[in-house]
Structure 1
């Protein structure tokens, strides 16, 4: 039986319309992960960086631990830390992050997923989305009320139902996934999946090397409009007996790659100053702030939910 190892690459770009990168990505021979922060001025970069810098601590010797249990504990610890940051500084209330992580133990992957960052598998030339978006439109697709094509252009396609906010009521999906020789796994933020069609992603992901694939995927996202930060993390299952010199350049030195907000180490902040005479500061709304708004009292939330469903359907 062929022994497998994981080649990897991580690449990010701030995009064409944003001034800060709220995505975080990580890649190593054991762990590939991505977190897409949200909350606009409420510190989406802090949320994704905090989460990634905790989750990547599971990138260690797994011989004496259950990988899925270790990954689950790391996700829970990251969520707890987000809650602590909000309690320490209420000005960041509403910040949150998605998370997609795959932890390789030498035999299979332990996986964690929450939000709408995606995991794709390219196997034998066929691209499959192996994560399920935690979005409002995906729930309508699951109920047979929307087709996938309709969901892709729906005005509320970015509305998240589950995301890491530092609360106890949003659990990540945990599970196992088997990899085989030649598989390529792509983890990406919606800055790619919203900008580029799946068939184009498949073609780019099948490039000669994963380094070329990552560069091409980011280029395609920017060419498609670059409306958001774009981050891609690729893992490829290769024969462990192949020489290191044959590896992709990105992972040839064997060092993990950390990109985006987590690499820039944003710090917790308190009450960022706002000029009250600046009308744009007072009234402009960042679309990221609308992806997952803080919850209202339950009676109003239920009423607005009913109204929203009636209007949308």
Structure 2
């Protein structure tokens, strides 16, 4: 029996979402078109794959049996297409979280691997990068990943980066050699956008009792720093080694007890581009070389939304989990 892969793809997405409307949205088709594809597949198979009742949709027993091999068939088809069409095309990777300079990490990982041919782009945020992956507009994405993550995407934690507090030089705490996060609770958290859309900063404020925040448009690092320096009550967070312009109006102060960590992840769909394995291997090697994945809960802080990713930490060549090796102080 020859199966229509468009029908199979509609079934797999609907089975993962258990919601025809959401599955149709991911395929960029109407719900009616998705329902027709699934109905034609059921007719071809001579089996009902979904129970469509008042309580929503559920997989039938036949649907459960069909789901795993159907997903494998789609993955094999995607790989076959990629092998023919994409072998000479650069791997397209988008980054987001631009104030935190994600290109530093991507460039460092890719620089040691001559076979990697990358075409770099910029996404707005995690949802836009995920949508581009699902529509095959890009091959991979790099930034901070947090739930909810659409079905069909794979991500790996590749770097845990300490962040510092960045303050106006006139801030009452600007002269301190180091700060505990809780010391910032009476300051104003300055964010380049709405706080509820910036998961890391939002969770930092909740965890350490920062009550006040102010926000502005994300117009780049220089604008962000100028707005920060304009108010002596403001602070924000930036990775400790982000290149900053030399300006006397701001101070970068280390955070300790605990040190917040910003979690960078690599995100992709299926096996995809033939160079995807080389890119993952490059990050594995660089993470081990630079001790990027070390985490000690007694002295570090990660938002709860980042903790599940720790289960997917890379291993070094000796088979040890990189994050389990001791960190040099």
Q: TM-score, normalised by structure 2?
A: 0.22
Say which structure, 1 or 2, has more relative contact order (CA 8 Å, 6+ apart): 1
Q: TM-score, normalised by structure 1?
A: 0.22
